[in-house]
Chains A and B, each alone.
Chain A
Amino acid sequence: MTDQIDILEIVIDHPRLDAAIAPVFRDQMNDRFASRPTRLLLDLSAVQFIDSTGLGVLVLLLKQMGAPGKIAVVGLSPAVARLLQITRLDTLFLQFDSAEAARAALA
């Protein structure tokens, strides 16, 4: 019998993940994290901009998942990709061109 790892998949529908929306976004993520996943797939296709506050919410998710946790992101806009690159968080948030590729990597 093979253990199957459950992947929590979340589609972010905020066009701007910034300080203005961060408290709401944080609460939404905390609600979704009640199941304490260790694999998270974030679809950021709708996100056109993210600032350090929005990024901080994502980092908190990674910390909540602990050492075995992995986060994959898909649908990065140029602005989101740029911030992950600047902050070197592109080493922690695994980037994929498709949800299918992300799921395969997280499994």
Chain B
Amino acid sequence: MNDITREIRSAVAGLFEEKRIDRFIGHEKGSVPPRSRPAFLSRAEDAERLVWDGFCSNNLAVYLPEIYRRQGPKKGNEPPLPRTGLLLKGCDMRSLIALAKERQVPRENVVVVGVPCAGMVSLRKLSAAVGGEEILDAMEEGDGLRVTAGVRTVTVRREDVLEDSCLSCRHPVPEGADVTIKAKARPAGDGGDAVVAAFAALARTERWAAFRVEMSRCIRCYACRQACPTCYCKVCFAEDNNPGWLGGGSEVTDAMLFHLIRIYHQAGRCVECDACVRACPMGIDLRTFTRKMAADVRQMFGFTPGFDIKEKPPLCTFREDDGQAFITDPDAKERSS
């Protein structure tokens, strides 16, 4: 067991014993090695199930809106809301702030155990690194991973198989956690600016064609939406049938429209955790598009979501110096991007 796991277990057991939380959501070993997966705990003894490794990629903030969703109008004396303990990485913490800002989660009811993040391993990259052989297990050892694939055991560099979002992560340390575990975060990256720049350098027709090719693989299972903490609408436009915004099935134009709208609904809200990308069973690159939108929000409105609960999100306010060339002179924007 690693030191971080040990410290997490003791911190979580302490939170239960001090009666500061009613439940805790962390990560446990999964059933398909080397995966870890979300674990729901309700007692101090359960803390022994918790683990921390390079496979704890699930953004656990996704469970909060469901826990705190109001079922109807307030009726006098209601039982107090549950107090939820939650293990969060840097990106997950920003999801919590985004949710608290939108009043989906009462921040004061959540006790955050934060872990400075050294980056999560991409299962797709790991699989590619061993030639597509089925991975039976992987152990982290320092800067490397000992991977059992088929009958072979190979060592790969951790840095070579990290998620792209982690390699470029700008904010790997959870800011504002209630308990911070001692761990070494990876150095901050460029936030995916290089990906956005490369995509923006393509001609408009090429960008549209690339988007179409990517979305043609979509099976409309909505794993991206369900894995996203800030996709919490009670009824998603995609399932609205009066009016029906989208056709049924896997027609590519419907898939494109779904993703365009979902991504735009995340403007000023997406914290770039890439939960959508990891959840996709078809390996669709949603990242290029979410990053582009996040970069636009940053450049046009000087806003980065997930830090200040009080700061007004850009789409809820207006400032005189807000960028508006995209309305008044869209071709100029096209030329410059």
B is bound to A: no
B interface residues (Cβ-Cβ under 8 A, vs A): none
A interface residues (Cβ-Cβ under 8 A, vs B): none
